[in-house]
Amino acid sequence: MARLYSPVRLVVAGIVLLAVAGILNFAPSDKYIFLPDRARAVAPFVKVKGERSDHDGGGIYYVAVEIRKASVLERLFPGLHHGSTLVPESDVRSPGESESQHRRVELRAMAQSQEIAAAVALRALGYDVDVRALGTAIDSVEPGSPAAGKLKPKDIVVRVDGRRAPSLGDLRRLIGKHEPGQSVELTIRRGDRIRQVPVKTIADPDHPGHPIIGVRTLTSCSIQKSGIRLPFPVHIDLGQVGGPSAGLAFALDLVEELGRDVDGGHKVAATGELCVDGTVMPVGALKQKTIGAKRAGADVFLVPAGENTRDALRYAGSMRILPVHSFRQALHVLATLPKKQAKT
């Protein structure tokens, strides 16, 4: 015979369950969660002398991702949020790095990406931009890697085997000329001193034929602020949004605002970190960014070629994915799209 519970007991049990769920929802877990955010137009955040309004119905959109500590409830039920991904803390923060330190690094990366984007965009428009890339800044050194004990955070790699390495693109290209196991000669700036440091390479665990030395850079295309001199001021302000992945979107919007029809009437979402030479570098969280671009009704989504493209295609649906290696290529592929007429 089934046992019946009184209404009072059922109400008490419900209250207890709600209280437990509330506690689990606020208690932090040992994981981080990536959540999609709707893509937003870049234009309202960019101020430059001579900018022109765009009335063709299109626009350039950047895509941000909400990243925070997952609650215990989200850890236990990972499907609570559509499009979310749980990741270990090591995928977000460097060893020994606090939340506040990580936040400062991300905001510096955003500020630097804005400066690099302005330089790349103005160069594409034919302006004379003075760029003095001083090297790639080291953020952290992986314990047990060949670089451990030889390189330190804040070191700036200026040359590889005697050749200049002003950006991460150059650093990777020059190290990539070696076979895993061979050594590279790095010229680094540490404070006011320049020194040569030999470092042995190892195979990248994710790409076994590719050599790495075991460091993370401050941003993937680091350049000190004093290294860029623009012909006129450009102001980009996304508030507390951090990270370098909006660089491609910033540069495309700046070219659009200074008179070139980049979007052709399309809603163009873009993600990708820009190097000062125009190289588009891979970024993370493509699942969430692709969902965010779809939510904004983007017609096309420009993403770094390679693995980022494959990730975006999994979640794009009918939205067109355009893979690009460089800023010049991004301008070219957008120019080949048929013009889209604005609705009246």
Q: What is the mean pLDDT of residues 317-329?
A: 95
pLDDT score of 344 more than 60? no
Compare 330 and 103 and report the one with higher pLDDT: 330
Q: What is the reported pLDDT for 253?
A: 94
Q: In this structure, are residues 288 and 271 in contact, taking their beta carbons and an 8 Å threshold?
A: no
pLDDT band at 291 (very low <50, low <70, confident <90, very high): very high
Q: Is the pLDDT of residue 156 over 80?
A: yes
Give the residue with greater pLDDT, 220 vs 184. 184
- Gap between the Cα atoms of 281 and 37, Å rounded: 21
Contact 174, 184 (CB under 8 A): yes
Mean pLDDT, all residues of the chain? 83
Does the structure show a pLDDT above 60 at 104? yes
Listed ranges 74-78, 131-135, 230-234; the one with the highest mean pLDDT:
230-234
- Residue 36, sorted as left (phi over 0), alpha (psi -120 to 50) or beta, turns out to be beta
106 — phi, psi (to 5°)? -65, -40
pLDDT at 13: 57
Domains identified in the chain and CATH numbers: 29-130+224-335 (3.30.230), 134-217 (2.30.42.10)
pLDDT in tens, 171-194: 888 999 999 999 999 998 887 688
Entry pTM: 0.72
Burial of 268 (0-12, 13-18, 19+ CB in 10 A): buried
Percent with pLDDT over 90 in the chain: 35
Q: Percentage of the chain surpassing pLDDT 70?
A: 85
Average pLDDT for residues 132-158, to the nearest whole number? 83
* 30 has a pLDDT exceeding 70: yes
Average pLDDT over residues 22-30: 61
pLDDT, greater one: 14 or 233: 233
Evaluate if residue 17 carries a pLDDT over 80: no
322: tokens are: 């355009």
pLDDT value at 126 more than 50: yes
Contact, 296 vs 322, CB < 8 A? no
pLDDT of residue 225: 45
pLDDT of residue 1: 46
- Residue 146 three-state SS: coil
Q: How far apart are CA 221 and CA 277, in angstroms?
A: 9
Query: Coil, strand, or helix at residue 83?
Result: coil
Provide the pLDDT for residue 299. 95
- Cβ neighbourhood burial of 308 (10 Å; 0-12, 13-18, 19+): buried
Taking only the tens place, the pLDDT of each residue in 33-89 is 889 999 999 989 888 887 777 666 789 999 988 888 888 777 777 777 888 888 888
